[in-house]
Amino acid sequence: MPAVSETVERVRSIDVDQYKYGFVTDIESDKAPKGLDESTVRFISAKKNEPQWMLEWRLQAFHRWLTLREPQWARVNYGPIDYQDLYYYSAPKSTPGPKSLDEIDPEILKTYAKLGIPLREQEMLAGVERSNVAVDAVFDSVSVVTTFKEELKQAGVIFGSISDAIREHPELVRKYLGSVVPITDNFFATLNSAVFSDGSFVYIPKGVRCPMELSTYFRINEKNTGQFERTLIIADEGSYVSYLEGCTAPMRDENQLHAAVVELIALDDAEIKYSTIQNWYPGDAQGKGGIYNFVTKRGDCRGKNSKISWTQVETGSAITWKYPSCILRGDNSNGEFYSIAISNGHQQVDSGTKMIHLGKNTTSRVISKGIAAGVSNNTYRGLISSHRKATGARNFTNCDSLLIGDKCGAHTVPYIEAKNASTVFEHEATTSKISDEQLFYCLQRGLSGEEAVALIVNGFVKDVLQHLPMEFAVEAQKLIAISLEGSVG
């Protein structure tokens, strides 16, 4: 098929440098000394004016981290990371903490405007796109601003940076922080627990349906810095929240480390919908540079009838290592995972989910779509398990992979463990390329090869796209197009 070979050719020649968020904001920043030891942890804690218990928690994590080794099991290859050659804290100088918008460095405002994230509420109200989304903007290590704070306060919703929450709502933070991802969890989560600098905190009180979408936008700007953000979302009984997360970083030749932890807690009858568009810098066409994205995301359906849904569109990062999971502890709880992972150029993706069925009559659903192009490798790795007492556990998993070009790889590594006789688990996976018949059908109807591929790819990922909030779905569709530029219109 000429159309296919043409597509392959063009994918191969894609300049991954087309990454359009790769600019650098020239701004002075306040950094911790390079390297990591106990004093770095103390420095970060002191910068944040944290209470003693928080410092102790961090130090405990740090000492634990010293005993751990970097995990090697994922299907990703990268050179050794020198953990002493990083800045663990970097904040724009002019903003020691989130303040009113007028005090924020105009450079930062410009940056977010350039990224298409309006931070001025009046602009948003004036009907600019994403008019009904409250944004927490995280720039390197600190949260610079949170919008719509007042409106949310009226509904009783707490939304802001986790640093503020530690100071203002210590009882909530102490109760829930580390209760889903303990400081002993894994190498990267433990590192994060020791040095996390900022992130978002959300608390939805009983019976409240959050009046607007909440969103955090992460931006790495500074050189040689690691970003370690921590997100904690608590949905109290009967509440609902939809949360969006986006991320970008400048183009740099060196690899930057991003090790985040996200913890979700859904109590009785609560629902959390968490959507991510991950678009960190993927590195250039030769595989130089790019973000190492090692993320631990886990949701705990703690209450009965609770529900957590993860939706992710992974297009960026040189290396992606993340497994958003659900612990289905409450009876009748429900976990969902919808994922599109696209790898191109030299990107390596090892991603998937874990659904751990503990409560009675718990259900889960996993839809994963992987698209590999260029010389990338794209792995789905997932665990579905039901425990002895989890009667009536039900799971459906579908992982499909699409290969574009013959130099890339697509892999599926599911673990399915049923320990209860009333379990019903179903798993299916397929790997193929775009079929000649499909292409022929489209071409015959006058579409160009590129349009045809675009159409088919969009159809391939549709099951997942429709689970994204409207504002995100449009952006995601655009991103997919950019990621596969050359093969997709």
Nearer to another protein, 73 or 446 (CB): 73
User: Does 445 interact with another protein (rule: CB under 8 A)?
Assistant: no
User: Does 125 interact with another protein (rule: CB under 8 A)?
Assistant: no
CA–CA separation, 424 and 308 (whole Å): 20
User: Does 119 interact with another protein (rule: CB under 8 A)?
Assistant: no
Residue 384 CB, nearest approach to another protein (Å): 9
The site that binds another protein (CB under 8 A) totals a number of residues, namely 37
User: Does 63 interact with another protein (rule: CB under 8 A)?
Assistant: no
User: Of residues 430, 448, 466, 478, which one binds another protein by CB under 8 A?
Assistant: 430
Site for another protein in 241-270 (CB under 8 A): none
User: Does 407 interact with another protein (rule: CB under 8 A)?
Assistant: yes
Residue 404 CB, nearest approach to another protein (Å): 7
User: Does 363 interact with another protein (rule: CB under 8 A)?
Assistant: no
Token representation of residue 391: 């009667």
Q: Are 129 and 113 in contact (CB under 8 A)?
A: no
Residue 73 CB, nearest approach to another protein (Å): 7
User: Of residues 55, 113, 429, 443, which one binds another protein by CB under 8 A?
Assistant: 429
Candidates 36-44, 67-75, 94-102, 126-134; binding stretch for another protein (CB under 8 A)? 67-75
Nearer to another protein, 313 or 404 (CB): 404
User: Does 448 interact with another protein (rule: CB under 8 A)?
Assistant: no
Candidates 99-107, 200-208, 282-290, 398-406; binding stretch for another protein (CB under 8 A)? 398-406
CA–CA separation, 7 and 455 (whole Å): 13
Nearer to another protein, 389 or 462 (CB): 389
Nearer to another protein, 157 or 194 (CB): 194
User: Does 102 interact with another protein (rule: CB under 8 A)?
Assistant: no
Nearer to another protein, 65 or 292 (CB): 65
Candidates 143-151, 354-362, 407-415, 438-446; binding stretch for another protein (CB under 8 A)? 407-415
Biggest distance spanned by C-alpha atoms of the chain: 69
Q: Are 232 and 263 in contact (CB under 8 A)?
A: yes
Strands 90-92, 29-31: pairing is: antiparallel
CA–CA separation, 405 and 293 (whole Å): 25
Half-sphere exposure of 314 (CA within 13 A, CB side): 37
User: Does 418 interact with another protein (rule: CB under 8 A)?
Assistant: yes
User: Does 424 interact with another protein (rule: CB under 8 A)?
Assistant: yes
User: Of residues 60, 224, 431, 477, which one binds another protein by CB under 8 A?
Assistant: 431
User: Of residues 432, 440, 462, 470, which one binds another protein by CB under 8 A?
Assistant: 432
CA–CA separation, 168 and 315 (whole Å): 36
User: Of residues 35, 51, 409, 489, which one binds another protein by CB under 8 A?
Assistant: 409
User: Of residues 423, 467, 475, 487, which one binds another protein by CB under 8 A?
Assistant: 423
Q: Give Rg (Cα) of the chain.
A: 22
Candidates 56-64, 83-91, 262-270, 397-405; binding stretch for another protein (CB under 8 A)? 397-405
Candidates 105-113, 126-134, 157-165, 421-429; binding stretch for another protein (CB under 8 A)? 421-429
Binding mask 374-393 toward another protein (x if CB under 8 A, else -) reads: --------------x-----
Evaluated on CA atoms 66, 260, 234, 103, the torsion sign reads positive
Closest of 112, 122, 117, 65 to residue 88, by C-alpha: 65
User: Of residues 3, 44, 244, 408, which one binds another protein by CB under 8 A?
Assistant: 408
User: Does 72 interact with another protein (rule: CB under 8 A)?
Assistant: no
User: Does 162 interact with another protein (rule: CB under 8 A)?
Assistant: no
CA–CA separation, 469 and 273 (whole Å): 9
Q: Are 373 and 402 in contact (CB under 8 A)?
A: no
Token representation of residue 353: 């989910």
Nearer to another protein, 224 or 398 (CB): 398
User: Does 425 interact with another protein (rule: CB under 8 A)?
Assistant: yes
User: Does 186 interact with another protein (rule: CB under 8 A)?
Assistant: no
Residue 364 CB, nearest approach to another protein (Å): 14
User: Does 69 interact with another protein (rule: CB under 8 A)?
Assistant: yes
Closest of 433, 358, 357 to residue 396, by C-alpha: 357
Is residue 127 exposed (0-12), middle (13-18) or buried (19+ Cβ within 10 Å)? exposed
CA–CA separation, 264 and 2 (whole Å): 48
User: Does 38 interact with another protein (rule: CB under 8 A)?
Assistant: no
Closest of 15, 20, 31, 18 to residue 223, by C-alpha: 31
User: Does 59 interact with another protein (rule: CB under 8 A)?
Assistant: no
- Return residues touching another protein (CB under 8 A): 66-67, 69, 73, 388, 401, 403-433
